[in-house]
């Protein structure tokens, strides 16, 4: 096929966090298939005559099926178009990138992947925090708080997650965090472990809640899940005022 797909990592939403390469590929694209969280001002980098196709997936809302998205990528590439698949954060972190790559490989469509700023890194930077510290915080671990059913995964490594010297970032975990916190505490992590809830990072309405894992679990057990968020917990999550 003469068409080509570029997977662009759009970052947390602030268009200034796009890489130069990502902005150049967007400007050259004939077709842009974009997620809900990778829209807004980021799409201003696309050509005025580019075809913009929303294929966003949001929990609890009508969403494009993964098979449909993969089919669109192949069909547009078959026309010879330069296709951009615009994902939020970093496309390789909980972005279902592998499923779209497998579909392109099976169809013989060429592609490239442009990395970007993932939500955990953006949240920490916006909050004025490091993700690591020499000697005392040597590991950062990214996990998803929801499995394919939308429930807390059963096969998480609880001893690793309860390590007080690690910084853990939880994606898609607002709804399941009360259950996650209970398991962490049962595994030996202190209920007073600092936690940071970071909502709508990179947007004008971004919000931070600095608390503990126990208090955040209690808060989220009474809140409806609306805004997207990443949760950081570990000693460094409360390091800055």
Active-site residue (options: 14, 35, 90, 163): 35
Supply 222's token pair. Answer: 């009474």
pLDDT attached to residue 56: 78
Q: Report angle CA 116, 100, 34 to the nearest 5 degrees.
A: 55
Share of residues in the chain with pLDDT > 90 (%)? 78
Identify the residue whose tokens are 């089919």: 71
**pLDDT bucket at 5, cuts 50 / 70 / 90:** very high
The CATH superfamily assigned to 4-114 is: Tetrapyrrole methylase, N-terminal domain (3.40.1010.10)
Q: Are 195 and 232 in contact (CB under 8 A)?
A: yes
Quick: pLDDT tens for 119-131: 999 999 999 999 9
Q: Which residue has the higher pLDDT, 224 or 80?
A: 80
Where do the domains of the chain lie?
4-114, 119-238
Active-site residue (options: 21, 36, 57, 147): 57
Enumerate the β-bridge partners of residue 212.
194
**With 80 as the cut, is the pLDDT of residue 240 above it?**
no
HEC string for the chain: CCCEEEEEECECCCHHHCCHHHHHHHHHCCEEEECHHHCHHHHHHCCCCCEEEECCCCCCCCCCCHHHHHHHHHHHHHCCCEEEEEECECCCCCCCHHHHHHHHHHHCCEEEEECCCCHHHHHHHHCCCCCCECCCECEEEEEECCCCCCCCCCCCCHHHHCCCCEEEEEECCCCCHHHHHHHHHHCCCCCCCEEEEEECCCCCCCEEEEEEHHHHHHHHCCCCCCCCEEEEECHHHHCCC
The CATH superfamily assigned to 119-238 is: Tetrapyrrole methylase, C-terminal domain (3.30.950.10)
**pLDDT bucket at 47, cuts 50 / 70 / 90:** very high
Decide if 87 is catalytic. no
Count CB neighbours of 203 within 10 A. Answer: 16
Instruction: Please give the C-alpha separations between residue 28 and each of 31, 36, 83, 109, 150, in angstroms, as whole numbers.
Output: 9, 21, 9, 18, 37
**With 80 as the cut, is the pLDDT of residue 26 above it?**
yes
Decide if 57 is catalytic. yes
């Amino acid at each position: 096929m003469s068409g080509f797909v570029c997977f662009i990592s759009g970052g947390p939403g602030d268009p200034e966090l796009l890489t130069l390469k990502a902005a150049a590929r967007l400007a050259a694209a004939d077709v842009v298939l974009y997620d809900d969280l990778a829209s807004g001002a980021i799409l201003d980098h696309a050509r005025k005559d580019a075809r913009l196709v929303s294929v966003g997936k949001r929990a609890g809302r009508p969403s494009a099926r993964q098979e449909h998205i993969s089919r669109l990528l192949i069909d547009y590439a078959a026309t010879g178009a330069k296709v951009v698949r615009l994902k939020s954060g970093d496309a390789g972190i909980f972005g279902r990138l592998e499923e779209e790559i497998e579909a392109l490989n099976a169809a013989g469509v060429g592609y490239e992947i442009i990395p970007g700023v993932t939500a955990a890194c953006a949240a920490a930077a916006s909050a004025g925090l490091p993700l690591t510290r020499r000697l005392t915080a040597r590991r950062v671990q990214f996990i998803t708080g929801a499995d394919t059913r939308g429930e807390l995964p059963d096969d998480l490594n609880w001893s690793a997650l309860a390590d007080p010297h690690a910084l853990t970032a939880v994606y898609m975990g607002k709804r399941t965090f009360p259950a996650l916190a209970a398991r962490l505490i049962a595994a030996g992590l202190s209920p007073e472990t600092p936690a940071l809830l970071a909502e709508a990072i990179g947007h004008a309405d971004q919000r931070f809640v600095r608390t503990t894992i126990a208090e955040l679990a209690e808060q989220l057990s009474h809140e409806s899940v609306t805004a997207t968020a990443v949760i950081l917990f570990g000693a460094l999550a409360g390091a800055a005022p």
